[in-house]
Each structure stands twice: as structure tokens, then as C-alpha cells.
Structure 1
């Protein structure tokens, strides 16, 4: 039996003549297949002539494109995270040591303030408890403000302490007062006339930031405790004591 791909065709004569059947011719569209290909048609990998991409040698393709900002960002992210983490560890260690040092100084018994104080050595005694005896010079009092305390406007009262003998005059921060007591006649109870012993913390000079306005000592306006400026204005030594008792 012929293949199903073959079809029969008939040739006919012109209509003027009688139709006479002619032996049909078979037209086959299929071509004989290679027996080797037919044998391995079900699995190409079994064909001996099959070539895999793994068997081919690798090829390096240059695209001509450079690495852009994305690669730089990917490198910066872990680098920045590592730097910030390292900074936080060192900052925590620094704060822990600083708190321990200040707690140790505060708990120690107060020291008498020497007659003459070297301003460059104050940083080694920052937050150290000291005491000094002398007369408070209320006539040279300076108010620093405005300062907010518990939601109320007020000032810090800084009074020079004139010590006995050859001891130098120092600045004493006596604390905060509300704005309504800015005038001395409204707080006469705090104007002590006899010699007193002041106990407090020896502090380093404060640092001014860029947003703080300048002081005007000639007008009695102090917005920032500039120890050097206030000491020069009152004829004192640049030594700052935060009064606690």
C-alpha cells in the first residue's frame, strides 16, 4: 500500500472528446530520511553529530559599557554602614568613660580652690567639686539670658566672688531666676553682704554655637556665658564655678 502522503491525479482530455481514464500518477511529498537521523530523532543528545554549547569554547563579549552610579552606590552602602557602626562603638565607649570619670569626680570630697588657678588645667578638673570663701560682688552681677526653665523665661545669675588675701576673684553661677526678679531690689533676700563659702563644680568654659548672638557687656546684655569676656569685664580670673550649695 502506498504511503498516505501520496495522492493520485488524473489527466483528462478536452471536453470535445470522450473522457478516457488514464493511469493515475502518484505524487509523494515526503523524502527518504537519513536512517541515522531517524534513529536518534527521539533524543538529540544521542546523536553522535550533536554538539552542545558546553563543548564550545567560551567567548568573552565586550559590551563597551562602563559601570555606572549604581555600582558606586552598592559599594558605598556597606562601607558607610560599617563606618557608622564603628563610630557608634567608639562613641559609646567614649561616653561610658566620660560618665564614669564625672561620677567619680562628683562623689569625691570637695577640694579647696587654690589661691591662683591655672586656666589651662581646668579641663583636668572638669566637674570636680571645689569650695571657696569670699565676698559676693553684687555690684558686678551679670545676667545671662533669656534662659527657659520649666517653661518660664528667666536669667542665669553670675556673681564674681572676691576671695580673701591674695586669692584671685572667680566667677560663680548662682543659678536661675525668673524674669520678674531680674532687678536686684526685687530679690534683696539673695543679696548676701557678709563673706560666704561657695561649694560647686569646677567647669570648663562654655562653647558658643553659630546661632547665639554676641554679648554686649557695655549694655549689660549677656546671651552666652563667655568666661573670658565676663572675667575681663569684672576683673576676675577665667574660672567658672557652678554653685551647688
Structure 2
């Protein structure tokens, strides 16, 4: 007999469930801690984006060989050149609609800008709804001649498992594949990044620029709270289970 008259077998019967509970508890606590780390990282990223996109004055485009996503992405830049409208590419996407909670389905218009100093850079000129997919329906939005574009630098977008692969032959693109789009358009001198144009109105109103959100959602604190709450529940459930197991053993006739 052990303390309080509890048989050794009762304590031994708690060994396997206890180890399993400890493993689950360690996983839950690590997930909660990881979310707190992600929260700090996200806050630092948001501060960096805001500082680069809203505070810093527009800079010149970095040279292709000097492009460093860690240092340059989300930087506000200005580029001067001529749009190659015949080589525009449409990328499937969504944009905020006029009704809260409802998104518009359509495309982002990526148009090469032939730079005055040489080379080309893809410019995401903004969003158009599906009904304006045909360039003929928005001819008024074509900016002719030399122009200056102000916007935010963005690097290539990695395709996730839920995003369909591009079909260049059909002109179907589903993510920001800068190298793939440049190759499909024969842009051998394209920069390894693109410029997200600001909200300066285009002729005719389309495309609508300024779609890039710099106030990224940061829900990691509530995610961390959820994991820690589940860990607390696990402790409570195991404590109740162990107490009942020991109580029933004590009450059992010898």
C-alpha cells in the first residue's frame, strides 16, 4: 500500500495516460510559445513595412544584382518609363468590394514598364473586375508616353499547394510569379521584383491601384491564448481522471 492507502496498481495505471498527457501538454505549450514568437515577428514586420511604405520618401529602383528582399521589399520607390500595354499579364485575384465582408473577383494587371535608364520592371497597376478582362473594355486606362510610377517593391510570391499552377500558353496566372511572367513575355531584361502601384487614379478609373495592404492582420496573441487554454483544459481533465481513478481504487473492496 502507498500513501493514503492507495494500492500500487492504481498509481501504475496512471503512468501511460500521464506520459501521454505530458507529451500533449508539451506540444500545446510549444505551440502557444511559438505563436507568441510569431506575434513579435509579425509586429516587427508590420513596423518595418509601415516605416518603408508610409514614412520613407520614394527611392530609386535597386539594381537587379543588388536586390535583397530582406532589405528592399516593401520599400517605397519611384520609376520612370513607358508602359508596354501589349505585354500586360492578368493575374487572378480578389479585392475588397464596396460591401463590407464581400470581395470582388477579378484580376491584377501586371504591365511591363520600359525604364528610361534601361531594363524593364513589372508594375502591378491595380485591380480590375472580371468584366473588364478584355483590354478593349478599358482602353481609357492605358497611359501613353513616358510616365512616373510610385509604389511599393514586392518580391516573387511562392505558390502554395492550394494555388493552381500557371498556364502561360492560355495566359492563366494565379500568383505573383515574376520570373515566369517575364519569361512568357520575352522580357529578358526584367527586374527580379515588381512595383505595386499606389492609388493614383488611372485614366478611366481602371485599374484601381493601391491594393497592397500594409496593415497586416496580427492574430497570434489569440492563437497563443487558444493553445494555452487547451493546455489548461488538458491538465484539468487529466487531474479529474486521476482523482477518480484513485478514488475508485480506494473505494474498491480488498
TM range (shorter): 0.5 to 0.7
Which of 154, 157, 163 pairs up with 2:115? 163
Query: What does residue 237 of structure 1 align with?
Result: 191
Query: What does residue 145 of structure 2 align with?
Result: 194
Cα distance 1:198–1:89, how it changes in 2: closer, same or farther (>3 A)?
same
- How far does residue 68 in structure 1 lie from its aligned partner after superposition? 4.9
TM-score (norm 1): 0.68
Do structure 1's residue 215 and structure 2's residue 166 form an aligned pair?
Answer: yes
Q: How does 1:1-245 map to 2 (within 5 A)?
A: 68-106=15-53, 107-114=55-62, 116-118=63-65, 120-147=67-94, 149-150=96-97, 151-165=103-117, 167-234=118-185, 235=187, 236-244=190-198, 245=200
Cα distance between partner residues in 1 of 2:13 and 2:193: 62
- Secondary structure of 1:213's partner? coil
Moved more, 62-71 or 215-224: 62-71
- Secondary structure of 1:112's partner? coil
Cα distance between partner residues in 2 of 1:117 and 1:132: 14
Cα distance 1:175–1:94, how it changes in 2: closer, same or farther (>3 A)?
same
- How far does residue 100 in structure 1 lie from its aligned partner after superposition? 1.4
Moved more, 178-187 or 147-156: 147-156
* Cα displacement string for residues 34-53 of structure 1 (whole angstroms, at most 9, x for unaligned residues): xxxxxxxxxxxxxxxxxxxx
* Cα displacement string for residues 183-221 of structure 1 (whole angstroms, at most 9, x for unaligned residues): 111111111111110000001211111111111222211
Cα distance between partner residues in 2 of 1:243 and 1:132: 10
By percentage of residues, which structure has more helix?
2
| Aligned alpha-carbon RMSD (Å) | 2.5
Cα distance between partner residues in 2 of 1:93 and 1:152: 32
Cα distance 1:120–1:163, how it changes in 2: closer, same or farther (>3 A)?
closer
Cα distance between partner residues in 2 of 1:66 and 1:158: 65
Cα distance between partner residues in 2 of 1:89 and 1:153: 34
Higher relative CO (Cα under 8 Å, sequence separation at least 6) belongs to 2
Cα distance between partner residues in 1 of 2:92 and 2:33: 39
- How far does residue 62 in structure 1 lie from its aligned partner after superposition? 6.8
- How far does residue 66 in structure 1 lie from its aligned partner after superposition? 6.8
Q: Give the length in aligned residue pairs.
A: 185
- How far does residue 98 in structure 1 lie from its aligned partner after superposition? 1.2
